[in-house]
A and B are shown apart, each in its own frame.
Chain A
Amino acid sequence: MMREITYLEAVREAMSIEMRKNDDVYILGEDIGVYGGAFGVTRGMIEEFGPERIRNTPISEAGIAGAAVGSALTGMRPILELQFSDFITIALDQMVNQAAKIRYMYGGKGKVPMVLRTPSGSGTGAAAQHSQSLEAWVAHIPGLKVVQPSTAYDAKGLLKAAMDDENPVIFYEHKLLYKTSSAVPEEEYSIPLGKADIKREGTDVTIVATAIMVHKSLEAAKELEKEGISVEVIDPRTIVPLDEETIVNSVKKTGKVIVVHEAVKRGGIGGEIASMIAESEAFDYLDAPIKRLGGASSPIPYNPELEKAHVPQVSDIIKAVKETLNRA
């Protein structure tokens, strides 16, 4: 039987395997050295790879993001760790105006092979500035790729693909998933960016869910099964590129679709996915309006009940499925 490791260990293992093989790969970030990173992802790595390649930086998100971009442009393959995905606000000029555009602006000359890894999501009580899910912001920028693994297995394979990619990739690690485990092969493997995974097959309704919402949707599906409702759960795994085909095919099969993410619903990636479905051939197969579930239009509150109320819960998903079925 295959061993199980945590999501956090899977991320670390993917990086360690790659760093043993390729001297051009290095990690930079705040407190990633002896401290092991804000969430412990790089723990033990400085002992194996040394301080040159596990490069502890000052608290300078714009500076270190730019250093990553500049070193990628000149032949390195940096992995930039940001302690919390909220801090990408400080690094955005380098990611959006530089990394994403350099190849295009330079007429196809130069490339920026780098991975920006960062933990996102709420549920830790860290409140408004340490809990956001801002993936739709970067998904909006041509030139970037955006990855959101939901399992340890996916995290390892997707990170390998991200490290192999010749473009800047934003890799979101959900902080509540770090301690979740799944069967993960010891050897290296790659999961192509742009390939969705059908986490559960079903016939009555499709749920497209990202990151931690994949697990909540699977839980909801299990509950609904007891009532004879068959739910298909699709995890796009990467929102740029987006595997439109898998989503469209599923909707054509079920005729009903709910899109669920933790990020604020307004302007979230769910709007993009819903529009894509509406514009596709699946539109003719829809038996009910497309439904979106997402975070409330407020900052993430501190109080645990309010924090929970901000993001979709299993009960919300069950309710949404039933509403959708009733509309059909």
Chain B
Amino acid sequence: MQLTKEKLLVPELSNDKLIDLYKQMWQIRLFDEKVDEFFAKGMIHGTTHLAVGQEASAAGVCALLTLEDKITSTHRGHGHCIAKGATADKMMAELFGRTTGYCKGKGGSMHIADVDMGNLGANGIVAGGIPLAVGSALTAKMKKLDYVTVCFFGDGATNEGSFHEAVNLAAIWDLPVIFVCENNQYGMSGPVKEMTRVENIADRAHAYGIPGVVADGNDIIEMINVTDEAIKRARSGKGPTLIEAKTYRWKGHSKSDAKKYRTREEEQEWRKKDPIKRYKEILIEAGILTEEKAEEIRLAVKQEIEDAVKFAEESPKPTLDDLLTDVYA
């Protein structure tokens, strides 16, 4: 479908779905901004990694997934969770450490999972989820199930041995997995340019004999298009694809980051490529959305997040008896 003169959306998506995705991007942003606020105020303990500015890759990649499809996520995973169908109330409750949270308050920010919804979990270990995604894809192949597994990770993860081992395994076994590298330019403070010699992370795909695709990670339409092709390839038994989404995290690595390793000018440049604003402009030009409707959506999401906070605050805390439950099945 030709959305605008420049923007072609390859897969068939309804206008409702396209508007839903716009809403979802706001859910991701406003959830993380609320979390940021709570951490600053000391209302949530532990740490957190926010994906503000990276909404297009989570929402775009997951736009075409079914309930049966799986994802694995990262420490910066709130957006992936929301895109795979998680709701803000149970996520917020998890961050508040309440029993109504996705993990009954035992996982926290870095471990939100919803296995029944196909979210195999965020991960506190960089590249830890990549072999898991390959295992999930192996199940699909061995049980002859139709689902695909999307594996999210950052640029930093591609310098881990697990990345190499897992991508190679998926390649030799033609597994239905889609590797999505969200290259947000920094592994904590390490600029991607100093940590690898290759121009694009996607170039590494050649070493495994699989396709590698570079995409504008701040353009949700492009993310949907490249994912569409990778999913078709995976579902037809042709194996994995490595997608590199070039993007930028607006916030620091985690709550304690003074961002000394990058300039404010660079941050401003990337803010101009705001994925939500860009998507809104496309939808308005395509006649699918109006400014008024867009603002309505934003305000509705804002309320949703406030409701989620209320839900979390009113939810029960675990009892000390819960300490030793769920260690073994």
Contact = CB atoms under 8 A, between A and B. Distances in A.
A236 to B, nearest CB: 18
Contacts of A61: 165
Contacts of B327: 103-104, 142-143
B138 A71 contact: yes
B132 A98 contact: yes
A75 B68 CA distance: 13
A71 B142 contact: yes
Given A69-B132, A70-B132, A103-B328, A97 B124 contact: yes
Closest 6 pairs between A and B when the two form their complex, measured CB to CB: A66-B131, A70-B135, A63-B165, A107-B104, A107-B103, A70-B132
A57 interface: yes
A104 to B, nearest CB: 5
A67 interface: yes
Contacts of A57: 169
A109 B116 contact: yes
Interface string B289-329: 00000000000000000000000000000000000011111
Interface in A55-111: 57-58, 60-76, 78, 93-94, 97-98, 102-111
B251 to A, nearest CB: 24
Given A58-B168, A107-B107, A166-B329, A68 B135 contact: yes
Given A70-B72, A71-B136, A94-B132, 17 more contacts: A57-B169, A60-B166, A66-B135, A66-B165, A66-B166, A69-B131, A70-B120, A70-B136, A73-B132, A73-B135, A94-B128, A98-B125, A98-B132, A106-B115, A113-B329, A166-B328, A166-B329
Nearest to B143: A75
A67 B134 contact: yes
Contact of A94 (B115, B131, B136, B168): B131
A327 B120 CA distance: 57
B91 interface: no
Interface string B142-173: 11000000000000000001101110110010
Nearest to B137: A70
Interface in B106-137: 106-107, 111, 113-116, 120-121, 123-125, 128, 130-137
Nearest to A63: B165
Nearest to B324: A142
Contacts of A76: 135, 138-139, 142-143
Nearest to B141: A52
Q: Give the interface size bracket for B toward A.
A: 35 or more
Contacts of B169: 57-58, 60, 63-64, 67
Given A105-B106, A107-B103, A52 B142 contact: yes
Contacts of B22: none
B105 interface: yes
A143 B116 CA distance: 21
Contacts of B75: none
B116 to A, nearest CB: 7
Interface string A158-177: 00000000110000000000
B121 to A, nearest CB: 6
A281 B130 CA distance: 48
B70 interface: yes
B275 to A, nearest CB: 29
A62 B328 contact: no
B326 A71 contact: no
A102 B120 CA distance: 9
Nearest to B122: A105
Interface string A120-160: 00000000000000000000001101000000000000000
A109 B115 contact: yes
A52 B166 CA distance: 18
A67 B143 CA distance: 15
B212 interface: no
Interface in B58-91: 70, 72
Contacts of A7: none
A70 B139 contact: yes
A57 B170 CA distance: 11
Nearest to A108: B326
Contact of A58 (B102, B104, B172): B172
B101 interface: yes
A110 B125 contact: no
Contact of B135 (A24, A53, A72, A93): A72
Contacts of B139: 70-71, 74-76
Contact of B115 (A58, A71, A73, A143): A73
Interface string B272-298: 000000000000000000000000000
Among B72, B134, B138, B325, the most chain A Cβ lie within 10 Å of the Cβ of B138
A108 B327 CA distance: 8
A26 interface: yes
Contacts of A105: 103, 106-107, 111, 113, 121
Given A52-B142, A102-B121, A67 B135 contact: yes
Nearest to A66: B131
A293 to B, nearest CB: 31
B202 to A, nearest CB: 20
A63 B111 contact: no
15 contacts: A58-B168, A63-B131, A64-B165, A70-B134, A70-B137, A70-B139, A71-B135, A71-B139, A73-B135, A74-B70, A74-B136, A94-B162, A103-B328, A145-B328, A166-B329
A110 B115 contact: yes
A75 B125 CA distance: 23
B74 to A, nearest CB: 13
A16 to B, nearest CB: 18
A93 B128 CA distance: 8
A69 B130 CA distance: 11
Contact of B329 (A69, A75, A97, A103): A103
